[in-house]
Amino acid sequence: MTLRFDRIDNFWFVLMHELRHVANKDGQNGNVIIDENLGSENEDAGIKPEFERIADTEAAESIIPAAVFNDFIVRVSPLFSEQRISGFAARIGVHPGIIVGQLHNRKQVSYGHYRKLLVKIKEHIIGNALTDGWGHHAPME
């Protein structure tokens, strides 16, 4: 689990992606899975192992069912607005930043749009974790 990008959309996607690896029993039989090439040229070129593509698809589906999200895109595109995004998010029970992240990922809107909805998450996670992933322990009361 990484907090590489301090955004709500990335946090939930990465969490669900990793949980899909567990549910799918990826890595069993001694096949260790380490996402060590994050942001590499192979990833940018769309070259991912099949189990990674499956985990990506299932993670996205578990956050926002594809049929529901596709319906939103068909009804609203290209007239997305903060109000429409927030309304849709409220209707399906997710944070608006998650909708923005999915719209960015699907290239429905430019990465520069709706950035204020991509709230930071790290401060909420680190404050409740035993460590921050770099060996710094949370203060004990």
The confidence score (pLDDT) of residue 40 equals 47
Q: Which residue has the tokens 């430019």?
A: 110
| pTM (whole model) above 0.75 | yes
Backbone angles phi, psi at 50, to 5 degrees: -55, -40
Distance (Å, whole) CA 62 – CA 17: 9
Listed in order, strand segments (DSSP E) in 58-118 are: none
Write out pLDDT tens, residues 52-88: 999 999 999 999 999 999 999 999 999 999 999 999 9
Give domain limits for the chain. 8-126
Structure tokens at 113: 């749009």
Backbone angles phi, psi at 30, to 5 degrees: 80, 0
Q: Which residue has the higher pLDDT, 56 or 137?
A: 56
The confidence score (pLDDT) of residue 2 equals 72
Write out pLDDT tens, residues 90-134: 999 999 999 999 999 999 999 999 999 999 988 877 766 666 566
The confidence score (pLDDT) of residue 34 equals 67
The confidence score (pLDDT) of residue 122 equals 85
Long-range contacts of 73-77 (CB under 8 A, 24+ apart): 73/103, 73/106, 73/108, 77/108
Structure tokens at 124: 């909420």
Distance (Å, whole) CA 79 – CA 86: 14
The confidence score (pLDDT) of residue 109 equals 96
- Of 32, 26, 103, 82, nearest to 58 (Cα)? 26
Instruction: Kindly tell me if the per-residue pLDDT of 39 is higher than 70.
Output: no
